[in-house]
Amino acid sequence: MSTDKRNLQQFRDGLQSEQEAEIWLEASQMVADQGNLDEARDLAQAAAQAEPDNPDAWLQLARLAQDPEEQKEHLNQVLALEPEHPQAQAEMDRLARQSPAVAASSSTDRSRMWSWILGALAVVAGLLLIAVLVLGAILASQSTDIRLPALLATSTPTPIPTPTLTPGEIAAQFVPQLQETLDNPNWDRALEIVDIMQAVDPAGEETRKWSMEIHLRYGQALVEDGQVDKAQKQFDLAAALAPRNRRVLRWQQTTQLYLVGERALEAGGWETAIRSFSLALDKIPDYGDLPARLVEAYRRQGQAAMEDGDWTGAIEALGHAYERAPEDPEVAGLLSGAYRGQGQAAMEDGRWAEAIAGLTEGHDMLADDAEVVDLLASAYRQRGIIREESGNLTGARADLEAALSLRPDDAEAKAHLGRVMYRLFPPKRIEIDISRQRFYAWEGDTLVYNFPTSTGLPGRDTAAGHYQVLDKIPMAYSSIWRLQMPYWLGIYWVGNVENGIHALPIRPDGSVMWGGLLGQRASYGCVILSTSAARLIYNWADIGTPVDIHY
């Protein structure tokens, strides 16, 4: 059995280091028992690399080492991990006892070696001398030219026996061809070669590993091609060859789960299909079309729930499908329909909070779905109108504003929001009735103040019209009339003179004008109020408050 480093690495895939080391150690001992020590050392080294803290791996390396110093090095590694390790201590003691004898034996062996070498050289020298003397005598007695080659006997070449290959060595010769079938996939040829290797060396480790690898790779190719049933057979064959290989078992089990899910999907067992596909995805996330099959299972479950009117179940199932396939228009459309169905049912029952919550969730997930947006805006608008009618103006305002944020062109929502805002923040306005000499202050449709007033005398009439408060001055002064005018609210200009609303004017001597004339025309064109009323209106009115003056 030969050690292909690439295949060793493939064999390691998916194994935990402890399990991996255990496998290598078992394989090393098995190979050592067969007498292949080099292979056993490679496998023991693989165990030590997989789990450097495994003392058994280092002990196996020490047993297989041929050099005493190498043995000591491995034994020291064992004792570093387990100082009281009995076998390692015994081996170290044995090596320590052998060291003097080995040294003496080596010295004696060297002396004997040199003695034999010197003796051999003396014999060779004597034979050469005799040969030269004999050759000289022959040449001297004969006149013919006799060459040295003629005296030497012609040797017959000895045939070199052809080595006999073991079954494992014969099987190994097919490995390059197998590698070529993997580099340029040709699975029929790969299976043929594997069959040949198994016929030649049925019990060989190399044959087993390559057979397992071909069945596994072929199964993976079949999965990618959508032929999962056929792939299952290949994974089963691979698992029979390597029942402890976690990579093989993962593919075999994932395929089994996939097929269970497919059968459940065909039978309408949505929960079983979803559970099987989910477990399979946990094992191999990129297994063929498995992600799409899970989406399909969720889609069918959601569609079945919609047909039963189970909107919550439909949204849950279709939500899972949408999370995995947000670009799938069919899934998005079904999820939109489920949210709208749930929202419509809640709205019909007057369950506005539930309707809005569900539709908001749908809008968050399907932000560009116009139908969900329209229904959510409608739910906000309808609840806002109901709140307006019940007097919950703050709640009505929030709902109507939410409806308009979704659909700014909703005329009905705009109209109701205007009425709500009018009631929440009624506009202030001032009304002055010249014919009645009355001053009115309004907030929306509510009269908040009503005072007697004095407007301009005939010929100095207060001008009728629509004005607004232009400015506010705590104490204005008229240079024309030499009067102080407390709590001034300017409302319109006559040339370069501003008329306004103010309290009873104060003369330079401190006396108050028109104190007994309120309720009749008396001023020079301004609107006069009592001091207390003027102070109240001054603090109530804002710059820009409308002022309507009429007869």
Mean pLDDT of 137-147: 42
At 142 the three-state DSSP class reads coil
Quickly count helices (H) and strands (E) in the chain. 22, 9
Looking at the structure, do residues 417 and 512 belong to the same domain, yes or no? no
* pLDDT, position 36: 75
Looking at the structure, do residues 392 and 485 belong to the same domain, yes or no? no
Distance of alpha carbon 486 from alpha carbon 307, whole angstroms: 77
- Residue 167 counted as domain residue: no
Task: Pick the closest to residue 430 from 531, 533, 513, 517 (CA basis).
Answer: 533
Q: In the predicted model, is pLDDT for residue 140 greater than 80? A: no
Task: Pick the closest to residue 168 from 129, 202, 136 (CA basis).
Answer: 202
Let me know the angle formed at the C-alpha of 513 by 509 and 519, rounded to the nearest 5 degrees.
Answer: 170
Range of the structural domain that residue 514 is part of: 428-550
- Residue 258 counted as domain residue: no
Residue 2: Cβ within 10 Å count: 15
Distance of alpha carbon 298 from alpha carbon 270, whole angstroms: 7
Tokens linked to 170: 């014969």
Looking at the structure, do residues 20 and 92 belong to the same domain, yes or no? yes
How is the chain split among helix, strand and coil, in percent rounded to 5?
A: 65, 10, 25
Distance of alpha carbon 109 from alpha carbon 184, whole angstroms: 59
Looking at the structure, do residues 503 and 433 belong to the same domain, yes or no? yes
- Please name the residue that has the structure tokens 């299952």: 232
Looking at the structure, do residues 406 and 442 belong to the same domain, yes or no? no
At 174 the three-state DSSP class reads coil
Residue 171: Cβ within 10 Å count: 26
Distance of alpha carbon 22 from alpha carbon 17, whole angstroms: 9
Q: In the predicted model, is pLDDT for residue 267 greater than 50? A: yes
Over its C-alpha atoms, the chain yields an Rg (Å, rounded) of: 54
Looking at the structure, do residues 403 and 486 belong to the same domain, yes or no? no
Are 46 and 24 spatial neighbours (Cβ–Cβ below 8 Å)?
yes
pLDDT in tens, 157-169: 555 555 678 888 8
Q: What is the longest distance spanned by two Cα atoms in the chain?
A: 187
- Residue 85 counted as domain residue: yes
Looking at the structure, do residues 395 and 490 belong to the same domain, yes or no? no
Residue 406: Cβ within 10 Å count: 20
Distance of alpha carbon 253 from alpha carbon 243, whole angstroms: 12
At 279 the three-state DSSP class reads helix
pLDDT in tens, 481-511: 999 999 999 999 999 999 999 999 999 999 9
- Residue 267 counted as domain residue: no
Per-residue HEC secondary structure of 47-111 comes to HHHHCCCCHHHHHHHHHHCCCHHHHHHHHHHHHHHCCCCHHHHHHHHHHHHHHHHHHHHHHHHHH
Tokens linked to 457: 């005398």
* pLDDT, position 157: 52
Q: Among 38, 66, 101, which residue terminates a domain?
A: 101
Q: Residue 43's pLDDT band (boundaries 50, 70, 90)?
A: confident
- Residue 331 counted as domain residue: no
* Percentage, residues of the chain above pLDDT 70: 83
Looking at the structure, do residues 519 and 435 belong to the same domain, yes or no? yes
Per-residue HEC secondary structure of 369-434 comes to CHHHHHHHHHHHHHHHHHHHHHCCHHHHHHHHHHHHHHCCCCHHHHHHHHHHHHHHCCCEEEEEEC
Q: What is the mean pLDDT of the chain?
A: 86
Q: In the predicted model, is pLDDT for residue 62 greater than 70? A: yes
Looking at the structure, do residues 471 and 484 belong to the same domain, yes or no? yes
Number of domains within the chain: 3
Taking the C-alpha atoms of 270, 275, 279 and 285 in order, what is their torsion angle to the nearest 10 degrees? 40
User: What's the CATH number where 12 sits?
Assistant: 1.25.40.10
pTM score of the predicted model: 0.55
